[in-house]
Each structure stands twice: as structure tokens, then as C-alpha cells.
Homo-oligomer: A and B are copies of this chain.
Amino acid sequence: VTQLDRKTEILDAALALADERGLEAVTMRALAQRLGVTAMALYPHVGGKDGLLDGLVDRMLAELLPAAQAEGDAAKRLFAIGHAARALARRHPSAYALLLSRPSVTPDAVRVVDAMYSALLELGVPDAEVPRVERLLSTFALGYATSEVNGRFSMGTLNPRGQRAQFGPDEVPAHRRLAEVLEEAPDWDAEYAADLEDLLLLIQQRWSRSS
């Protein structure tokens, strides 16, 4: 079983390296050096760079699992998972994007999805719609956290004046009309919470309690 422990040791080191110096600094050689070993010593355990990155996805999903198994009613559990997904991104900003680009069927991944299925069923979503709604929610949560840690949101907002200056009058009329609103720096915690509430509201209104 020291095999498995060694693998998680390696993955932990890789994740720490990604957190500290970015995903592109996660090199077989740099990772090996951090572990006091040669790069080729890693291959039997993680199976090359691709296997290493898949392993990082698994490790992150394992970190998400406890939140998925929290207590409370269905809506509360979905909020907990949603906030945990965002907290995970803040903990591992550089590695997080892997979650959207590398499929994973780790047992822990299935368990997280199962927790969401259960909550949606409890909320009255019909069986046939549950997988779709789960994908809608998880896609939004992963996409939001990814966008946030990668800075996709902080540019329509950073200096809207200088930005509008590139355009002629009424070339971007909505930006002009929203000028004052766009001046304010958004509170991302509040925005994300509001988004989750809206999505839960959608679910409750669309399939109001029949069970």
C-alpha cells in the first residue's frame, strides 16, 4: 500500500508546486527535485505528465468531497457544494482549470455528483431532468471559479472609462447607459452567492414541490 501513499505524496507535492509557482512550473524535473529524487523515478508512480495532471484532478475532487457530504436540507447542501467548489479554486488557482478540461471518473467524483443528484431529487426535480440540471449547476460553478481566478471578470470592470474611450459615441450604447454601475467594483462573494440563489430559485419555481 506504500505504492498508493507514494503516489499521493507525489500528487500533493505537485499541487503545492502548482499553488506556489503556477501550473507551468510543474515539471517532471522540478517536481522530482522537490521530492529529492530523479525525474524518471516518478514515472512508475504517476505514469508520465498526463497521468500526473489527471492525478491532480482526482486530488482536487477528493478535496471537494467532504463539502458534498455536509448536513442540512437539499438547498443548503447544494449551496455548500457550490461554495466549496469556489473555495477550492482559491486554494488551487493554477491547477483549477484542469477540472474543466480533463474528464475524471474517480470514485470521489461520482460521489460528489451523487450528492448533487440526491439534493436535486429532494427538491422535486423529475428523474429525467436531474442529470441535465446537475450539469448546468456544476458547469456554472466550475466556470465561474475558473473565470474568477484567471481574471476573466476583472476587465470589463477594471477601468471602464478608458475602455469606453476606444469607441465612438453610441457604438457601445449599453456600456454608456450602465456607466455608473460599471464604475463600482463588484463584491465577488456576494455576486456568486446571488447567482447560486437565482439558480436554486429557478429550480424551485420550475419544478415546485409536488412530492
Contacts and interface: CB of A to CB of B under 8 A. Distances in A.
A118 B155 CA distance: 19
How many copies of this chain are found per oligomer? Answer: 2
Contacts of A143: 100, 139-140, 142-144, 146
B132 A194 contact: yes
A103 B155 contact: yes
Interface residues of A, number: 61
Q: Is the interface of A mostly helix, strand, loop or mixed?
A: helix
A21 interface: no
Interface of A: 97, 100-105, 107, 110-111, 113-115, 117-118, 121, 127-128, 130-132, 135-136, 139-140, 142-144, 146-147, 150-157, 163, 166-167, 171-175, 177-178, 180-182, 186, 191, 194-195, 198-199, 201-202, 205-206
